[in-house]
Structure 1
């Protein structure tokens, strides 16, 4: 297991854990880098095994925040450390470092558990959430957005102006700036975009509409943690937002 794979396993393990602040921990881990440090010093616990340290490196302004969870993360690392004939996990050390490079920020494809993953991404938002959605009628995701609003996160939504959205059991316009888009042409068309931008760094996009029915369909989403990709989707969001009516 390489360092990048270990980091992903660490994040996935925290996700399924029961730590009360796991969403905050995950958001910190996503901007951290894992480094292995193998030593020539015997552990004196397992026969003929050397100490291996795991360094968790994060930008200096976040290091104090991450160190609050050092003991917990040390325990998780000890739990998931792969068996080795030569080395034994000895300790987790948190050190200052740089942001992960783009290659370390993976694209994640999901075919199952999509709604839950979207919830986790919403909960990780710290600054803004921009949503462009053909259909948005899922009250579960709506309630998650309300929670983020109370935390001060800026939320804006672009919606297709159709009867299903207008007659949903909740009114998005009451709580969020909502831009209703109608496409007018010779044919009856809809605004068919389905994406969500989080903190201008993460994009969720694919076939999944934010509806109850989508949870029972065969759907796919991609989660891209990449600034360049996020900005491309943000440009599209701004184009949609600026128009109340798109003409062809």
Structure 2
């Protein structure tokens, strides 16, 4: 997104010369040309973080005597007033049909791959690992953030009371003061955690890395899902191309 929406306007400017007006222009142009609130909010956050990084390090720190220009920009005055996902909180819900579809996709891709001959597996999409499938069900059933889940330790899970304790150090929030959280597990969520315990219960973490020296890299599961979405999209586009070629 930076290559398309930011660098064409700021790449040749000195850091000290970038102003809130420049940033406001970029965000307004995104809204005008593409009409996307989500991208505008995300780029605004990324620019704030970029300048924050520079403020804390030399030699860029001395170039930002005037402070972080992105912080002065009120993104709410640029995006549509009805957009409420500024703080990363969305009201997007999966329908019963979509949840069932996801369940069936997991079952089918795993079964097809496991039952395929060795040579045929090269042509099939590799199913999402079982621990990643469980992670998606836990995120959906507890409404936790993926980072909060991947950093969790087994000592924080109580199967007797069906509670999951999230220490404030693992909580991600953009508003208010961080505090410890307690997630009350539904029977479904508790069942998913018990399945996971059979896989990783000997580790300190629910989702350990390969060497079991720490928790899994925060973006691992998200990337696994994104990669499969791209593969599916590419297969759809290939199929459309073949159909177009046939009808020419």
- Of Structure 1 and Structure 2, which has the larger fraction of its residues in helix? 2
Q: Which fold has the larger relative contact order, with Cα–Cα distance below 8 Å and residues 6 or more apart in sequence?
A: 1
- Please give the TM-score of this superposition, normalised by the length of structure 1: 0.26
- Of Structure 1 and Structure 2, which has the larger fraction of its residues in strand? 1
